[in-house]
Structure 1
């Protein structure tokens, strides 16, 4: 019923009314009744009907009442009532399409039936039955057509609402997936960066107490390093507080750090798990990945795990996957592709998962860009992690240099709390 919606669009009432009036004028000009031109009375009633239809095109129920009144006058005054019959039927059609309540539709139809039946008062039975049959055309057709168009509009509106609701749901799920990935990155930031910074601060603090006979300039450098490290820890606490919601972290998002030298073995373990699931995996891993920093090393591991999981999930266990990790001029070139496992398409479905969203979020945090899409019958995911992290928006102000003198009293973070860094936030 798409053509009905376009033809009887709610915004085109005036256009339809003008076309109807023009067709009425054409009927009056070119038609004759008993070999004679239309009478003056019929012209007057027709012009009044045309004017009422134009003036009241935005108030269909009132227009119907006016057209029904003019039809009653025409029945009592002239023999050819075609113009007024068509005007009243059309007004019923517009009222049926636009009325807010069903009761208004049935009252309007009843009014038009009553007016049409006045033309049969005093006629023989056969003419009365003929008039009743004519109501199916004058009242039944516009009523039925109006109800069909009204229902079509309602179904279209409901479909648009469902589409908008689905769009909002997907956007909400995408934001939730990005938030979960940010939580995971925040945990890794704590485990990797804070651990090393806290260790540096600890060692500098110990050196300040053990080495007492130092040149004042060296002591000043130690104090500067110690103060800068302490300020860095404070900045990390604020950053983690922004990125992480402690109450909303999923269990599977609580990730730990990885020693860079252990990255090749961790990648091999991820490949072995994929092979145990039935996926055939070919690897090309540059030995230089063992010298990556901990942050990019963790990103490469998580990207590999997610990509191989997607291969098993979407391409099937009969798929052939290829993992490539190379280091070129300090930048990490990472790629996972598959042959689709014999499927027509191994594209990741548009809904139901957020693996690609999380991977893209992780790569963008490191200043890279993730490319994902079909390739032949399979799927390909690739990224380049630059050799350096993107610069921060605003560098923290350096901590003031402590004056030379006797070593300050030990601080709370000068003593180790265990084998790990102190908990942030």
Structure 2
């Protein structure tokens, strides 16, 4: 971090002190030989002292230096070596003044001073030759200061724009997370409502069968308990997601998430994945009825819709499928849906996609890999999507891991591992 003194970088302070010292030495060096003697040297020293504040108070410094220069001209001393302070003050007011109008006024005053100084300069030629020389030097300083001021303001505008874009991006990401959490809450509400309905039906059946068939009643009560545990587990996950802030996105090699990969949303315009393939309208591929709860069993129908849209999809299921909790079932469906939608948008029509669903003892492992060889896009896919934001939120509900990023062989991959809940899953027995 750059050291600062009085709010200014250390190197700026050192440079200003060197300029002040140079002007002061010029004022003292010829005190006995220059016109005005020690009186002129005192004027030069005051000019040097004023330059200390040239960055913070450029207009005030220029007024002081100009007043001293007019005093010098009034006494008829002509141009002296320490008049370097006039050029420094002119440069400072053009570069650092809040409005360029102050620099323009300073330039006009400097032009008048050039003429007066040229008239008082002893010379073998006409007065306008020194005036031209002084004018060229002063004009060059003024133009150099204007160029530096323009570049400085341009850099400041870029920094402000970058800061504004960063704030907008953070706000947009927070809004996307909030929207996805609302969607998760709505879907888990359906799951919990279904569980409560099952519990009520089973409890009523147990009440009516407790005398006629105690074994059936005990089985119904067991189902009520298992369903209640599962619903409570789903609700606990939901409350945890809604209470906790969005976790920081783990980077590659993060020890907190060894499965973390390159998490880049291909629709956010960062250029991590080149857009390819003009997708046909995909609204029908994503939208679902409000009260519908899609599941893994509906994946073949979903894949058929994407095949009809132009993707070449292969679907493989490994391991015994078993029965997944409804919330987890819905999460797997949504992950496949989002991954295929991104493939259609960015890999393009004709891309080959491999969808694998592996059921292991303690988790469900999902993979969606495409070759990125679709037809080139006529119109690039719109930027600003938040597909991976939603996918991360869904996976985090189950403390799972998500890897999403480009492949070395080309194309894109999405791999998710979703641990199974510890609570047992049983069949529902109607009373």
Partner of 2:307: 275
Partner of 1:387: 420
2:191 and 2:207 mapped to 1: Cα distance?
25
Change over 3 Å in CA distance of 1:29–1:236 after alignment to 2:
closer
Residue 202 (structure 1) shift: 3.0
Residue 112 (structure 1) shift: 2.4
Partner of 1:48: 46
Partner of 2:58: 60
RMSD: 4.4
The answer for unaligned runs of 5 or more in structure 2 is 1-6, 244-285, 424-431
Of 269-278 and 351-360, the range deviating more from structure 2? 269-278
The correspondence for 2:337, drawn from 297, 305, 311, is 305
1:83 and 1:156 mapped to 2: Cα distance?
33
Partner of 2:172: 173
Residue 182 (structure 1) shift: 1.9
Checking the alignment, whether the CA contact within 8 Å between 2:76 and 2:120 is kept in structure 1 is no
2:27 and 2:98 mapped to 1: Cα distance?
35
Normalization by structure 1: what TM-score?
A: 0.70
Residue 99 (structure 1) shift: 1.6
The correspondence for 2:293, drawn from 257, 262, 280, is 257
1:168 and 1:321 mapped to 2: Cα distance?
36
Matches within 5 A, 1:233-252: none
Change over 3 Å in CA distance of 1:162–1:350 after alignment to 2:
farther
Partner of 1:200: 199
SS in 1 for 2:368: strand
Change over 3 Å in CA distance of 1:79–1:176 after alignment to 2:
closer
Normalization by structure 2: what TM-score?
A: 0.69
SS in 2 for 1:291: coil
2:334 and 2:41 mapped to 1: Cα distance?
83
Give deviations 1:334-384, integer Å, cap 9, x for gaps: 11112221799xxx9994211111111111112112111111222111110
SS in 1 for 2:413: strand
Partner of 2:136: 137
Residue 33 (structure 1) shift: 12
Partner of 1:370: 402
The structure whose Rg is larger is 1
Change over 3 Å in CA distance of 1:57–1:285 after alignment to 2:
closer
Residue 102 (structure 1) shift: 3.4
Checking the alignment, whether the CA contact within 8 Å between 1:74 and 1:81 is kept in structure 2 is no
Partner of 1:89: 87
Checking the alignment, whether the CA contact within 8 Å between 1:180 and 1:253 is kept in structure 2 is no
The answer for unaligned runs of 5 or more in structure 1 is 1-8, 245-249, 391-425
Partner of 1:341: 373
Residue 329 (structure 1) shift: 1.3
Q: Answer 1 or 2: which has greater helix percent.
A: 1
Give deviations 1:10-39, integer Å, cap 9, x for gaps: 7565333222234446767999999x9996
Change over 3 Å in CA distance of 1:40–1:254 after alignment to 2:
same
Give deviations 1:160-216, integer Å, cap 9, x for gaps: 22222222222222222222322222222122232122221233135325646899x
Change over 3 Å in CA distance of 1:252–1:20 after alignment to 2:
farther
